[in-house]
Amino acid sequence: MGSKAFVRSTTSRRAGQRYHRAMSRRRSLPVVVFALVLALSWVGVASSASAAPPEWVARIQEVVGDRPFSVAVGNDGDYWYRHQAWVRRAPASNQKLLLSMALFDRYGTDHTIRTWAMSDGDVVDGIVRGDLWLVGSGNPDLGTIDLSRLAAELDEMGIRRIRGGVRGDTGPFARDWWATGWRDYFPDIYIALPTALTFKQNRDTAGRMVTDPERRAAQTMTARLRARGIEVRDPAAAGTPPAGMDPLAWVDSAPLEGLVRRMNVRSRNFWAEVLGKRLGADAYGRGSIANGAKATCAFTAARGQDFACYDGSGLSYANRASALGIVELLWDAQATPWGDTLRSTLPGGGQGTLEDRLEQVRLRAKTGTLEDVSALSGWVWLELSNEWAEFSILSSGFDDQTAKAIEDQIVKVVSASASDPDPTD
């Protein structure tokens, strides 16, 4: 059964699928009943097996064969094609697509992330009688320009002297740099330390990971203040600030829509874990990789999906998702105010992580790559009906080039030739 292609064949089958989707989202549905509904949703498969599938379905099945690929293609809430679609596999960076949904669902698309300049002493006649603290809350894109803006705000306020120094807050997020399912070398190569106060994506000028971004931010802030004639007595440092500080000025990130787009187009792992920690902090009171993953899976579970989440970036080999579930989440997303925005945050053919791929196909899709793991999920434009269709392709056990070649063939066939297998109902 797992190696067969499934297409819709009867009106009753379509109704059964819709019933299954609606029932699967009811959080109170007992496991046994859910299993029964799932089984009933496949009624009609045997009776349709003898009918010749549409040509485009046959072409996809020829490409997929019996390989361990999970494929789901659907449109307007109905499945058009499924191959091992219920099998849970590591989604790789398709985990960022799930994180994106959870972020937009909680915050909306216009939400910004603030970085503060705070004083641990009184401010009298333009003099900060203590230290000036930089306090972050999870903007993965904080850089020199932002600190220059912050220094300008303080200058306009009339700050002329800081009796102490500029300090970078090493909280409030946990300083964890590991997740279940990561390989030992990942922090050295694939992701910088995710912190609440970031600076230049927590890398040095040579692109190496750093463990003291807060101190580096404080150093740059000190230089920007002095350049404006503001005296700073002590050298820059980092640490834990005292409670009860007074906010003096702040700088906001770009809207979340822009942050998520920059995360997804280039599949930035660091951005995903920083934003995941922000999500985890608001959901569970502590910004950690595990809590960000927990919040992401809480989002998917609330929509009937039995996934496993251990990080936000998708570096974890222990993450699990199904092509079936991802397509259903894309359907759900399309019905939200942020659905179109989500689609716009994904790279198109020839862009970002789809560079040199699918340049002649209109699509928006998130890639995913680990060793012997590949994924591609999102939206592809149907040339025959001039509308978007949702799809998800997850695979394991193949080298990178083989998996991506198969993904591209599937997407090309769907884009050029796919149509409703049962247009009469």
Domains identified in the chain, total number: 2
Q: Are residues 403 and 270 in the same domain?
A: yes
Give CA 72 to chain center in angstroms.
Answer: 20
3-class secondary-structure state, position 369: strand
Q: Are residues 101 and 125 in the same domain?
A: no
Q: Are residues 90 and 190 in the same domain?
A: no
Flag whether 272 is in a domain: yes
Q: Which residues contact 314 (CB under 8 A, 6 or more apart)?
A: 91, 92, 93, 94, 95, 96, 269, 272, 368, 370
Flag whether 377 is in a domain: yes
Handedness of CA 257, 352, 287, 180 (dihedral sign): positive
Question: Quick one: DSSP state of residue 367?
Answer: E
Question: Which residue, 368, 414, 420, 418, is CA-closest to 394?
Answer: 368
Through-space distance between the first and last CA atoms of the chain, rounded to whole angstroms: 25
Flag whether 370 is in a domain: yes
Q: Are residues 138 and 247 in the same domain?
A: yes
pLDDT mean for each 10 residues of the chain (425 residues):
40 41 41 36 39 91 93 95 97 98 98 98 96 98 98 97 98 97 96 98 96 98 98 98 95 98 98 98 98 98 98 98 98 97 98 97 98 98 97 94 96 96 73
* Containing structural domain, residue 25: 11-108+261-417
Output the pLDDT for position 50.
52
CATH number for the domain harbouring residue 380:
3.40.710.10
Distances (CA, A) of 195 to 70, 80, 92: 35, 43, 22
Instruction: Look at the block and give the residue holding tokens 């220094």.
Output: 151
Flag whether 53 is in a domain: yes
Q: Are residues 172 and 311 in the same domain?
A: no
Instruction: Look at the block and give the residue holding tokens 């939206």.
Output: 379
Q: Are residues 334 and 309 in the same domain?
A: yes
Q: Are residues 381 and 274 in the same domain?
A: yes
Q: Are residues 228 and 275 in the same domain?
A: no
Q: Are residues 223 and 175 in the same domain?
A: yes
Amino acid at site 424:
T
Q: Are residues 238 and 372 in the same domain?
A: no
What is the rounded CA–CA span in Å between residue 224 and residue 230?
9
What is the rounded CA–CA span in Å between residue 225 and residue 219?
10
CATH number for the domain harbouring residue 141:
3.50.80.20
Flag whether 134 is in a domain: yes
Output the pLDDT for position 423.
73
Flag whether 3 is in a domain: no
Last residue of a domain, one of 253, 271, 290: 253
Output the pLDDT for position 4.
41
Q: Are residues 129 and 155 in the same domain?
A: yes
Flag whether 364 is in a domain: yes
Flag whether 4 is in a domain: no
Q: Are residues 171 and 301 in the same domain?
A: no
Last residue of a domain, one of 192, 225, 253: 253
Last residue of a domain, one of 253, 269, 303: 253
